[in-house]
Amino acid sequence: MNASHSLPTWAPQLATFLRRTDEAQAVMWDDGQTEISVATLGAVDEHKLRAALEATLNAATEPHPKKEADVDGLRLRRLPEQHLLEKDKAGEAMATVWNWRRIPWPTPAEAAGLDEAEDGEWRWLAVLASLCGVFGIAGWIVDRFLSAPVWLPPTLYIIAMIAGGWDAAKDAGPNLLRGKLDIHFLMLAVALGASFIGAFGEGALLLFLFSMAGALEHFALYRTRREIHSLFKIAPKTACLIDQDTGEERTVGVDTIQTDDRLRIRPGDVFPVDGVVEQGDSAADEASLTGEAHPVGKGPGDEVYSGTLNLWGAVEIRCTRPASQSSLQKIIHLIQDARHLRAPSQRFTDRFGPKYTWGVLMATAIMFFVWWLGFGVAPFVNTDAGFSAFYRAMTLLVVASPCALVLSIPSAILAAIAWGARHGILFRGGAAIEGMAGVSAVALDKTGTLTTGDLRVVAVESFPAGREREVAERAYALEQKANHPIARAIVTYGEEQKLPLRTVAEFRSLTGKGVQAAVDAEQCLLGRREMLEEGPLREWARQLPPPPTGLSEVWFIQGTLLGRILLEDQIRPESAEVLQRLTRAGLQVIMLTGDREEAAQAVGRSLGGIDVRAGLSPEDKVAAIKDLHNMGQRVAMVGDGINDAPSLAAADIAVAMGARGSDAALEQSDLVLMDDKIENFFAAFQLSRRARRIIRQNITLSLGTIVLMVGAAMGGIVPITIGVLAHEGSTVLVCLNSLRLLK
């Protein structure tokens, strides 16, 4: 209920950022101060842009700007609920080609919605509510039981109302100056109106309950944001770098670490970047990243991830991704984005809120005259016949205020996001949660999703026989530049066999089929069997033996040399149980794969006989998703690779396997399952369904209370005290109900 709408103290630093950054043309920030949008021209390195902005904002704070002249050389303009600071030379014509980039500010923790001041805010609100309660009770006791001057009880009630309405006045004031009325204004208007008719006690009670509900609301948000904030606190700031020339160790900032740098990680240290263990043995606590409660063993060749804890052994790692592209930073960016992607139902309540407030005020004013002039009710003084028209109007104003309704959706959405983040499930906003709850069909990629994706070369064949090593060497050379599971398996095999690395030129990827390049100046192809069946060798290729059941294959062609590499993939132990649970929940489950029919059907049978569609290209997978849409299904697509990105984009809900997956898959995702845990998909589905139920409960409770109490207020049968209790009680219940999602 509290927000600041003034210009930030660091506005001059934004001006400095614009002057120093040629690519930046303008900056814009919202009144809630949750992010900065930067307008750029041309190609821009976003990581450098973000670093420059953060460095500027972290500089010493300058005085608060009083007018446009304080940001000399730039234009500062006020927009609806936003501020825009732009270069003078940037006109409207240039603005049409700007590329706006959202950048949370000034730290990831604050972008997540929780800074150090957040901890004390709900406590301060609780203190104000307590003061309101103490003085209100004192006024009631003096009025009822003590012989005191006539002015003392109203004075105590007024002090109580000042304490209880302080935060509401601070919020309502700036909005009122802009002609915007909100719930805070309604509560203050009712308390003031109650005082005019001598109902000081009712006014104090209203503001006590309103301020206490505000404190509880902030406490609920603090609890959920604290869950998310714990992810940001684990991000290390420094690391121990090993000089590759001298072997000396020195402490450096994490942002300076580059790919292939070597780092020393001691027991108890947090891994600062993603990397591969080069020396030493240990175990990592990955609970903060994946929700996995058990230590994960780490030895030479194993991957480690930023933000996870090295438990007992000193290890030396090689950086595979700089800090700005690490697993932890991906999570941070996903959560930052999630805060701005609101659920459809939440966007609806945001739109109707201001209009509803005006409607309540108009209805209250109209009803005052209806009761007074139409039904002959006394205008301002309660009589034996009933409450006055003004008293009834104040009661109507209280019970019609939509506090609980406004909180019903965002409180539940934020709690669900917080629970998911702590358990390896990252929702990209409220729309993802609501969308996931409405899914009726699930399409899953096979490799890396239902299987581990860690393929292993089990055999190399050549036709004619005897040239297996040539096939392996050339395939090893072709796959050096690729990063899909088959490529990783072939490269690992080549390294284990110590195969020589041949010269590769004219490399070209054949989307969904394979790769082509010149190896030692001879043209080579490596890819699926369909590549042979569609070429000049198709008649002969149809007579080739199929691979053994359970194995995948990739074919190699170079002139008269033909070869085949057989690979094995392991089904995840938990896949079958997860798919059975999804089926029992009433979802249609389909496996989409590019593998050949026999291998895919073998996997399908081992998973419980699910619907299998094999031999699909990326375009075929998109067509399969569209077929499900045509059948009236809402589809969630689960995948991990670059080739899954088109089908993820076509699905209603896109689910990426792991923040370590391909960037293309992550860009299309609505939901990310950390550590490639397929069982987390069912947990996410259950969480979404539960969140939807709680949202519906909250809306029913809040709307039901409003309808019931408005009806009672219109009939003049409910005192303002009961109206206050019903109104604020429903607000508290909505917050407490949403907190159940944290369990």
Q: What is the pLDDT of residue 633?
A: 92
Query: What global pTM score does this model have?
Result: 0.59
How many beta carbons lie within 10 A of that of residue 436, not counting itself?
27
Of the ranges 139-153, 169-183, 317-331, 605-619, which is most confident? 139-153
pLDDT band at residue 441, thresholds of 50, 70 and 90? very high
Least confident of 71-80, 317-326, 356-365: 71-80
Query: In the predicted model, what is the mean pLDDT of residues 432-460?
Result: 85
Residue 372 DSSP code: I
pLDDT band at residue 33, thresholds of 50, 70 and 90? low
**494 vs 262, 457, 509, CA distance in Å?**
24, 10, 20
Identify the CA nearest to 208 among candidates 144, 175, 159, 154.
159
- Is the pLDDT higher at 3 or at 77? 77
pLDDT band at residue 693, thresholds of 50, 70 and 90? very high
pLDDT band at residue 339, thresholds of 50, 70 and 90? very low
Q: In the structure encoding, which two tokens stand for residue 243, read together? A: 């000089």
Percent of the chain's residues with pLDDT above 70: 78
Q: Are 403 and 213 in contact (CB under 8 A)?
A: yes
Q: Are 442 and 589 in contact (CB under 8 A)?
A: yes
Q: What is the pLDDT of residue 346?
A: 47
pLDDT at 12 over 80: no
The whole-chain average pLDDT of the chain stands at 78
pLDDT 10s digits, 459-502: 999 988 889 999 999 999 888 867 677 888 898 899 888 898 88
Q: Are 141 and 152 in contact (CB under 8 A)?
A: no
- Is the pLDDT higher at 632 or at 432? 632
pLDDT at 411 over 90: no
Q: Are 528 and 513 in contact (CB under 8 A)?
A: yes
Measure the CA–CA gap between 583 and 611, rounded to whole angstroms. 11
pLDDT band at residue 333, thresholds of 50, 70 and 90? low
pLDDT band at residue 83, thresholds of 50, 70 and 90? confident
Least confident of 198-202, 221-225, 320-324, 519-523: 221-225
- The CATH class of 456-568 is alpha beta
- The CATH class of 238-269+274-321 is mainly beta
pLDDT at 568 over 70: yes
pLDDT band at residue 572, thresholds of 50, 70 and 90? confident
Q: What is the pLDDT of residue 483?
A: 64
Q: What is the pLDDT of residue 130?
A: 92
- Is the pLDDT higher at 570 or at 139? 139
- Is the pLDDT higher at 59 or at 51? 51
Least confident of 188-192, 522-526, 735-739: 188-192
- Is the pLDDT higher at 608 or at 695? 695
For domain 433-447+573-682, give the fold. Rossmann fold (3.40.50)
Least confident of 34-43, 443-452, 545-554, 662-671: 662-671
Catalytic residues: 445
pLDDT 10s digits, 198-234: 778 888 887 887 788 777 667 766 665 565 555 555 5
pLDDT at 728 over 90: no
Identify the CA nearest to 657 among candidates 447, 490, 344, 476.
447
Strand order in the sheet with 282-285: 296-298, 282-285, 309-310
- Is the pLDDT higher at 376 or at 177? 376
Q: In the structure encoding, which two tokens stand for residue 534, read together? A: 């569609």
pLDDT at 530 over 80: no
Q: What is the pLDDT of residue 293?
A: 47
Every domain of the chain with CATH number 3.40.50.1000 lies at 433-447+573-682
Identify the CA nearest to 59 among candidates 32, 23, 20.
20
**Count of alpha carbons within 13 Å of 444, Cβ hemisphere only?**
30
Measure the CA–CA gap between 591 and 606, rounded to whole angstroms. 12
Q: Name the strand (E) or helix (H) holding 568.
A: strand 561-568
Every domain of the chain with CATH number 2.70.150.10 lies at 238-269+274-321
pLDDT at 5 over 50: no
Write phi, then psi, for 529 (nearest 5 degrees).
-60, -35
**Count of alpha carbons within 13 Å of 366, Cβ hemisphere only?**
7
Q: Are 606 and 592 in contact (CB under 8 A)?
A: no
pLDDT at 621 over 80: yes
Q: Are 324 and 255 in contact (CB under 8 A)?
A: yes
Write phi, then psi, for 146 (nearest 5 degrees).
-120, 150
Least confident of 30-44, 406-420, 432-446: 30-44
Q: What is the pLDDT of residue 116?
A: 47
Q: At what angle do helices 679-714 and 720-739 cross, to 10 degrees?
A: 180
- Is the pLDDT higher at 669 or at 395? 395
Query: In the predicted model, what is the mean pLDDT of residues 121-127?
Result: 84
Q: What is the pLDDT of residue 113?
A: 44
Q: What is the pLDDT of residue 340?
A: 45
Identify the CA nearest to 704 among candidates 390, 408, 469, 376.
408
- Is the pLDDT higher at 51 or at 291? 51
